[in-house]
Amino acid sequence: MCFICLNSVSFTYEGKKTPAVDDVSISFDAGESVAIVGLNGSGKSTLARLMVGLLRPQEGKITLSGRPIEEYSLPEIGRKLGFVLQNPSHMLFNTSVYNEVAFGLKWKGEKRREAEHICCDYLHYFDIWDLRDELPFNLSQGQKQIVVLSAILALEPECLIMDEPTKNIDNYRKEKLKKLLLDIWARGTGLIIITHDYDFVDNLCARKIYMADGRIMADEH
Ligand SMILES: Nc1ncnc2c1ncn2[C@@H]1O[C@H](COP(=O)(O)OP(=O)(O)OP(=O)(O)O)[C@@H](O)[C@H]1O
Ligand SMILES: [Mg+2]
């Protein structure tokens, strides 16, 4: 059984004549590492938003672990999928970097001591411990990106869907991120990475999907 399965899925934004995602059928197994690439406007982010249930297809069906995605509550989806949006600013709403990373862990029901331990680990790993009391809103784009990635990685979802995770981040943190993703992938976490950064996904994702004009043009394993 496939983990995420899309069957003839189409989505057109209101007021648009052409679909952003056009009759896409594709499936992802549990624990797969997949890169989704394509030019600006080819429909990658729209596809990701459909896969995590933030958008509903006007045509076609999407299932997660065999069950229609619309039957899941958002917390249920959150336990299975971790989604990093293309714009990290849209995911930041806490009053400190520390609370930003801790928020999801508390929401997940993690015990306080354990949540503190996990937060510290991520802030130290990405070398942003000194930023722990900063207002996330005031951070640089790259720092925001690292905070959002830390917050989602800390939740240990079954599969991570990341929309341009390396955008704006420095090479030092990019290497750390890659090492961490290789590590969690080896332990069974699925990775779906939307990117323009071919070097980053080169030896990280065994499968590459090419999108153009809302369609899948190639799917290479
Ligand atoms: N909120 C929106 N409202 C209307 N049209 C949208 C919206 N978001 C995206 N689109 C349109 O849908 C199409 C696909 O956009 P999408 O953001 O999915 O592409 P993308 O492949 O992620 O591009 P990029 O590489 O620039 O991030 C584009 O034509 C875009 O203009
Ligand atoms: Mg995009």
Answer yes or no: is pLDDT of 1 > 80. no
Percent pLDDT > 90 in the chain is 94
C-alpha distance from residue 51 to each of 60, 61, 117, 194, 220 (Å): 12, 10, 31, 13, 20
- Domain positions in the chain are 4-220
Secondary-structure breakdown of the chain: helix, strand, coil percentages, each rounded to the nearest 5: 40, 25, 35
Q: What is the pLDDT of residue 207?
A: 97
Note whether 55 and 24 are within 8 A (CB).
Answer: no
- Per-residue b/e over 201-220, b at no fewer than 16 CB within 10 Å? beebbebbbbbeebebeeee
Ligand 1, residues 10, 22, 39, 40: which to mutate, most atoms within 8 A of Cβ? 40
CA angle 74, 77, 83 (to 5 degrees): 100
Average pLDDT, the chain: 96
Cα of 43 to ligand 2 centre, how many Å?
A: 7
Condensed to tens digits (0 to 9), the pLDDT of residues 192-211 reads 999 999 999 999 999 999 99
Q: Name residues with Cβ closer than 5 Å to ligand 2, which is an ion.
A: 44-45, 86
Condensed to tens digits (0 to 9), the pLDDT of residues 134-193 reads 999 999 999 999 999 999 999 999 999 999 999 999 999 999 999 999 999 999 999 999
Confidence label for 75 from pLDDT (cuts 50, 70 and 90): confident
- Please tell me the CATH code under which domain 4-220 is placed: 3.40.50.300
What count of other Cβ atoms lies within 10 Å of the Cβ of residue 118? 19
Answer yes or no: is pLDDT of 220 > 90. yes
Query: Which ligand ends up closest to the CA of 47?
Result: 1
Ligand 1 lining (C-beta closer than 6 Å):
13, 16, 20, 38, 40-46, 86
Which atom from ligand 1 is nearest to the alpha carbon of 214?
Answer: 14
Ligand 1, residues 11, 45, 49: which to mutate, most atoms within 8 A of Cβ? 45
Q: What is the pLDDT of residue 124?
A: 98
